[in-house]
Amino acid sequence: MENLNQEQAAVAQAQTSENAENKKASRKVFVKTYGCQMNVYDSDRMTDALSNDGYESTDTLEDADLVILNTCHIREKAAEKVYSELGRIRKLKEEKAKDGKDMMVSVAGCVAQAEGGEISRRAPVVDLVVGPQSYHRLPELLKQAKEGQKVVETEFDIEDKFKHLATPSKEAVRKRGVTSFLTVQEGCDKFCTFCVVPYTRGAEVSRSVEQIVGEAKQLAAAGVRELTLLGQNVNGWHGAGADGREWGLGELLFELAKIDGLTRLRYTTSHPRDMDDALIAAHRDLDILMPYLHLPVQSGSDAILKAMNRKHTRDDYFRLIDRIREARSDIAMSGDFIVGFPGETDQDFRDTMDLVERVGYASAFSFKYSPRPGTPGALLEEQIEENVKSDRLAELQALLAHQQQAFNASLVNQRIEVLFEKMGRREGQLAGRSPWLQPVHVNAPAELYGEMATVEIVGSSANSLEGRLI
């Protein structure tokens, strides 16, 4: 009888442990990402860290035991969207509580970094506020929040978060697809007067060659074919090499090009001041480096560029574009533009329009200037009226849209290489990207998912291309 009781106790204990493990494994995390590609990368790393703590990802907010809003602070409306979303989450959390279910809520990212205390005051529904430098501590911070603490972690950590971030499993990488982001650099030392990045992401930090190449090899081994290197100032990357030297981005791209399985490389976002000879040579010599360059100029006016603390002129930018196009004749340019910066005159705006016409962009992002608290630009006099900003933005965007549509149309009847990334919107269709980053929709067999194929472009629209499989 004693032996039977011991056996039953062992079975019961095993069942209790199994139930606990199942309960732990059944916890779900919903992550909503705002803003830049680096936030996408950070969201994936947070998910990886939490998977080791028993969380599974869900695309359904209502199913979540933990909600993370990974935020962007570049534009004023982006921050307000976060507070609006928190209002909706508060109601859902209250409904779950009525059913005896818990939901933890965390705000991460640059809004968290800039407004940590304000978030806790304005949105009591939030249990945890965590800045970009502390994602590797997320499970630990979440544990503190579960114990009833209101956790606000926005200090700039002195340790290297990249050494502590969880390594994604092969299964996790495969679920995300055949393209991937890889952060090589974070933060910025440029201090453009309109930008919050130096205050929310901190000073420039570059990962080592060993860290970057190691992660790139893991991604390639898991099926990633296209890698996009990320950094707030990515071409300012200067990482330590195993040879004891400090490498630049051009040299890093040559090293990454050697990795088996990778077929495409990209990088973003760049600053004109850090576009050096070695990086231009990489565009000339590496077929794996796609002929598409996002190189923000922000304004075509020297007066505004000076007020923005960009430390380059419009002529500097023109000369740089000429050098890049001489090295790679088929390269397509992308850019960022801000209209209505304090003090911008009609002539300053006309200078921007002139620059856009002379350069010719395949795509671009353009915004009305939005004063961000804590930046020098917010303190400048001669703030531009909103209706003037709106009129200028509409005119600029019309020109940029015309250029983008013209570039897309120029590819009709050409044969290009497409990497198929996902299933298309229609049955029997695959969707991929051109070398110039446009979406391409093609009728093709599902077996070509993750593969490169030659496609003849048979149609174009403002934002995408239609192709025929060769």
Q: Give the CATH number of the domain where residue 188 resides.
A: 3.80.30.20
Torsion-angle region of 298 (φ positive above 0: left; ψ -120 to 50: alpha; else: beta): left
Query: Parallel, antiparallel, or unpaired for β 415-423 and 452-460?
Result: antiparallel
Contacts of 14 (CB under 8 A, 6+ apart): none
pLDDT digits (tens, 9 = 90+) for 114-154: 888 888 888 899 999 998 878 878 888 999 988 888 888 87
Please check whether residues 173 and 304 belong to one and the same domain: yes
- Please report, for residues 183, 240, 250, 252, 266, the alpha-carbon distance to residue 278 in angstroms, rounded to integers and kept in the order given: 20, 17, 5, 10, 15
Measured CA to CA, the distance from residue 407 to residue 326 in angstroms comes to: 19
Q: Which two tokens stand for residue 135?
A: 């994602």
Tokens 């239609």 correspond to what residue?
A: 466
Percent helix, percent strand, percent coil in the chain, to nearest 5: 45, 20, 35
User: Which of these, 243, 182, 188, 187, lies nearest to 216 by C-alpha position?
Assistant: 182
Residuewise pLDDT in 10s, the chain (470 residues)? 434 344 434 433 444 344 444 444 479 999 999 878 888 988 988 888 888 788 999 999 999 999 999 988 776 666 778 888 999 999 999 999 998 899 999 999 888 888 888 888 888 999 999 988 788 788 889 999 888 888 888 777 655 667 766 677 888 888 889 999 999 999 999 999 999 888 888 889 999 999 999 999 999 999 999 999 999 999 999 999 989 999 999 999 999 999 999 999 999 999 999 999 999 999 999 999 999 999 999 999 999 999 999 999 999 999 999 999 999 999 999 999 999 999 999 999 999 999 999 999 999 999 999 998 889 999 998 999 999 999 999 999 999 999 999 999 999 999 999 999 999 989 999 999 999 999 999 999 999 999 999 999 999 999 999 999 99
Last residue of a domain, one of 130, 153, 176: 153
Last residue of a domain, one of 408, 428, 460: 408
Please check whether residues 132 and 184 belong to one and the same domain: no
Please check whether residues 290 and 427 belong to one and the same domain: no
Measured CA to CA, the distance from residue 55 to residue 49 in angstroms comes to: 9
Please check whether residues 221 and 277 belong to one and the same domain: yes
Domain carrying residue 120? 23-153
Q: At what angle do helices 386-409 and 346-359 cross, to 10 degrees?
A: 10
Please check whether residues 292 and 364 belong to one and the same domain: yes
Instruction: Using DSSP, state whether 406 is helix, strand or coil.
Output: helix
Q: Contact, 81 vs 121, CB < 8 A? A: no
**What is the number of residues in the chain?**
470
CA 376 to chain centre: 25
Q: How many domains does the chain have?
A: 3
Please check whether residues 171 and 145 belong to one and the same domain: no
339 backbone dihedrals φ, ψ, rounded to 5°: -110, 150
Measured CA to CA, the distance from residue 146 to residue 127 in angstroms comes to: 8
Please check whether residues 84 and 136 belong to one and the same domain: yes
| Residue 17 belongs to a domain | no
Tokens 């979406």 correspond to what residue?
A: 439
Residue 457's CATH number: 2.40.50.140
Please check whether residues 359 and 393 belong to one and the same domain: yes
Please check whether residues 399 and 434 belong to one and the same domain: no
Last residue of a domain, one of 408, 436, 458: 408
